[in-house]
A and B are shown apart, each in its own frame.
Chain A
């Protein structure tokens, strides 16, 4: 019985064009519009490796290794003349001459030029520290101190992780995924309508059948979660492969977040379905409205709003499923798998549990005075 119900619920959802629009086509349209609007910003903010040339690299190979380890430079070893020519032709941002002193030559001022200068300053600072220590205590060379001590340790706790840091525009696209997931709530609301006698004619027909309401409920909810999950993944794939939006490399965790988001949104819809005593179109409208307001506070219209809410009304940020989904994706992209990602996952899961318990309790206690 469960499988048959699941099969037909799944078919119904696949064939429902209105829901397909809200779950798949609308997010794709919106994401495409964002892409068109932000494509310049994206390219401006995309961090590309800095092309530099090293002159007389053989004089200090350790220094060249340090530059390579930073992972932010495209390094080529050139003669001085060739390096000058490349700088004039703007093939490189600057060149570094390695001799008794290490000097950088650049043609203009800018972020990349500043980064080259900061790298040299840092190298000089660390190498001076080494020299000072060895001069004061020559035995230290024999010990493990120099290899174990981290001269570049940052004591203020904020540490850059990778070159994704500069791209904040991705938040707009993540809110689109949150929107796609939360629209799944409309499916949850429809599931409830289909099993409640006072909500629809089909609900009345199923209510007089010997099938248990709990079996019908879970069959249709499973179908809704499956279709919502597939829809969200389609949107993610579109953003990832068609629009080339950055998601990082943690695909499995993205899928997990999408799945939990789908579960939460469907149960949000079922809870609205049982608590709101109105017709189905009103409930679907309410789900869409909650979705859009949630996405607004997650930064869909302006990223600053997301941070403003987090700063001024943190509770709202924690109870807004759209924000949790957006923030989950953002934290994955920005920080990788960590506490912030798991907090978002945990709150979304807790919401799903609460919504489902409320739904089941109301359904079980419900008796109809009116149809």
Chain B
């Protein structure tokens, strides 16, 4: 009865990783692997969780699709809509704000000519303001994929962005792989 989706599937490497992760939890508690697997899925399938991807993950873990949707919608790291190739997340919480996060965000908005939450028309960059990244002592801070960039200045941000434009920065990375 269930509609199996055959159009998407993990690469053999990811599948191996996924199976390894599932075994970390007791028998019958495979659902525990849901967050780690959603991270891997998001990285592998273009940086966001489409309904097809979530259905595929549900299938893998023998869950109902709704059990995956309700989780994916709860956690802010899961994107439920397409994002740019490189997602820049600037911390906007108290300590970072005290140390100039506002200027960094404004600077990036101007540089990309977009507002927080938007993606550049060429699909390269998405700009986000996020909450405390546990790096307040080196504020202001931003997270890009698996990297943290700290003690930001507008000059430092310019350098990074210029570099990323050249190298075609991609921030959708599997959290488990270097």
Q: Do A and B bind each other?
A: no
